[in-house]
Amino acid sequence: MEHGKRAWGATRRPDGAWDIATWAPSAEGVALVLDEARHSMERDAEGWHHIRVEAAPGARYGFEIGGRVFPDPASRRQDGGVAARSVLVDPGALIHHATWTGRDWAEAVILELHVGTFTAQGTLRAAAERLHGLADLGITAIGLMPLAQFEGERGWGYDGVLPYAIHPAYGTPDDMAAFVRIAHEAGLMVLIDAVYNHFGPEGDVLGQVCPEFFDAERHTPWGAAIDFDRPEVQDFFIGNAEMWLRDYRADGLRLDAVHQIGRAEDTWFLTRMAERLAPLEEKGRRIHLVTEDERNLASYVSGDHPIRAQWNDDWHHAIHCLLTGESASYYRPFSVDPFGDLVTAMRDGQVDQGQPRPHQDTPRGEPSGHLPPDHFVNANQTHDQVGNRAMGERLVALTDPATAQVVHAMLLCAPFIPMLFMGEEVGARAPFQFFTDFHGDLADAVRQGRRSEFPEFADARDEIPDPNARQTFADSRPYARAAEDAEDWRALTRHCLGLRHEHVIPLLSSGWHGTEVDRLSDRSLRARWRFADGTLEIAFTMEGEPPSGSDDMREIYYHKAETGAGLRVGIGDPQ
């Protein structure tokens, strides 16, 4: 390994034995408790405790420190909850789709899904049964919300405390491997949402086994900051990324809130991770990393390593303010001129690029107009923007559905990487609410915190769903009850993705040569993206007839809503 001398957790050797290690520099002695036997572990000068043992896969183990037995922080599977014994898992026994080498990033059309609410069963096996249908619709990538084990049975996944372990309510490591294999058989990439910026509020074993993992002098919204300056900490998370990509054969990662990884302007860990993962591509595979970065830093996104793109919340905010008129919180800067912000997003990807902006004390971002459009993942709604609303409403429930269909078609036809949130492809109206499964004082704190978060509900706080109520979780299943216009939405999605695969993706793959966007009026625009093999043009309006196409364009799509919104898409020859 590049940094630490040892790998975290249990590693199966070719001879069938196991190397088991954990980093606990403040612990004088650590013992491995393997089934009913206790084995003293060796300690080296860097604080690693390690041992080599014989055991069969499935054996239960833990680390005894100070008279208590803790699970392995790098546990692949738990024999129960987050405080239970860990279980030895042999990644070499997982069955994969041997011939799959991935897809080009330009082909990505992502559906973000939450395993627990995607189906009535809430499991990976049940979700896998729907993958071929999504592929038939034109989806090419599944974005799985976090799978790491957390306290309780149900939750978003962003409270994970055992990043290497599959949450047991979703299934086993074998189920995860089968999900990826079935996805690949359907032609779908699988991207894992990886949370490396914090741990959940309950069951964090690292805080007890290895307090040196954290920097007590720095804090994040979730507590003490993780100390990424330590090589052992870096190796913990890079080892986790390698697990998803190597052992489960996932195609990439969506890296959550990277602005909270390291210090305020740090990006070095992202590039280091990309460098460590790049050798997987040298073996004939394509690996894709996507970041969520509130800083709008663009300099580390490059075609030279696997960091392909960023989540582009600026696009979402402009669309949301344009269609809803909302102006609270982070929407406020985008509420001043949302159509103008949409023009900028069409041209440059990001809106905030370091320039002064209304209602912002400090500018954020870096210039992004030099980046090709496939360096941005655009979405009209995500788990964040829906679930962080008090009632969890989807965009289609907040605006005219016909207008929502126009911007849906525009998202799918534009050259940025489109992402849909599960149910969006069929116009689902079911909310996606914030839900957890905590108990006692923590449950009370989460409930009260949620109900005090939204000042507009000051006089009706009891209307905000209780995150810990099972009904809040059940109400968040998008396919439990089909919308009346679900088939119209499905047909629109299928048609637009057909156009994308036939016309847009070949242009993206040929190489981008520049973008021009004209604001034709307060409510109309025309955008042109030039590629080596041709030109894509989109004309969009919020009122009246969409602007006519340029003389050198042949129209491939036209959509006009009775509400006044309209879209025209054209394709032209190379210029």
Residue 119 vs residues 144, 187, 478, 486: alpha-carbon distances, Å: 13, 21, 9, 17
pLDDT tens, position by position, 184-242: 999 999 999 999 999 999 999 999 999 999 998 888 877 789 999 999 999 999 999 99
| Residue 404 resides in a domain | no
444 is in an annotated binding site: no
Residue 129 vs residues 102, 157, 174, 190, 352: alpha-carbon distances, Å: 20, 22, 15, 15, 41
| Residue 18 resides in a domain | yes
357 in helix, strand or coil? coil
406 or 563: which carries more pLDDT confidence?
A: 406
> Which class for 494: exposed (0-12), middle (13-18), buried (19 or more C-beta within 10 A)?
middle
387 is in an annotated binding site: yes
CA distance 407 to 539: 12
For residue 59, give its domain range: 9-93
224 in helix, strand or coil? strand
Amino acid letter, residue 18: W
CA distance 236 to 330: 33
Average pLDDT over residues 445-472: 84
pLDDT at 1 over 60: no
Residue 400 vs residues 104, 188, 394, 409, 561: alpha-carbon distances, Å: 35, 32, 12, 15, 10
| pLDDT at 455 (0 to 100) | 75
Q: Are 313 and 370 a contacting pair, CB within 8 Å?
A: no
| pLDDT at 381 (0 to 100) | 97
pTM for this model (two decimals): 0.96
396 or 453: which carries more pLDDT confidence?
A: 396
The catalytic site residues sit at 256, 292
| Residue 36 resides in a domain | yes
| Residue 264 resides in a domain | no
Which tokens go with 289?
Answer: 């990393």
Average pLDDT over residues 124-146: 98
Q: How many domains does the structure of the chain reveal?
A: 1
Q: Among all chains, which residue has been given the structure tokens 């069938």? A: 16
| Residue 378 resides in a domain | no
Alpha helix ranges (H) inside 354-512: 383-387, 401-413, 440-452, 470-474, 486-499, 505-510
Find residue 166's DSSP bridge partners. 148
pLDDT at 481 over 70: yes
Lowest mean pLDDT among 36-40, 122-126, 451-455, 478-482: 451-455
Number of Cβ within 10 Å of residue 17's Cβ equals 13
| Residue 71 resides in a domain | yes
383 is in an annotated binding site: yes
pLDDT at 457 over 80: no
| pLDDT at 2 (0 to 100) | 46
pLDDT at 4 over 80: no
257 is in an annotated binding site: yes
| pLDDT at 575 (0 to 100) | 79
Lowest mean pLDDT among 37-51, 52-66, 439-453: 439-453
Which tokens go with 414?
Answer: 């534009």
pLDDT at 3 over 70: no
Q: What is the CATH number of the domain that holds 25?
A: 2.60.40.10
pLDDT at 453 over 90: no
Which tokens go with 6?
Answer: 């040892």
pLDDT tens, position by position, 22-39: 999 999 899 999 999 999
256 is in an annotated binding site: yes
| pLDDT at 221 (0 to 100) | 78
573 is in an annotated binding site: no
| Residue 405 resides in a domain | no
| Residue 25 resides in a domain | yes
388 is in an annotated binding site: yes
Find residue 62's DSSP bridge partners. 33
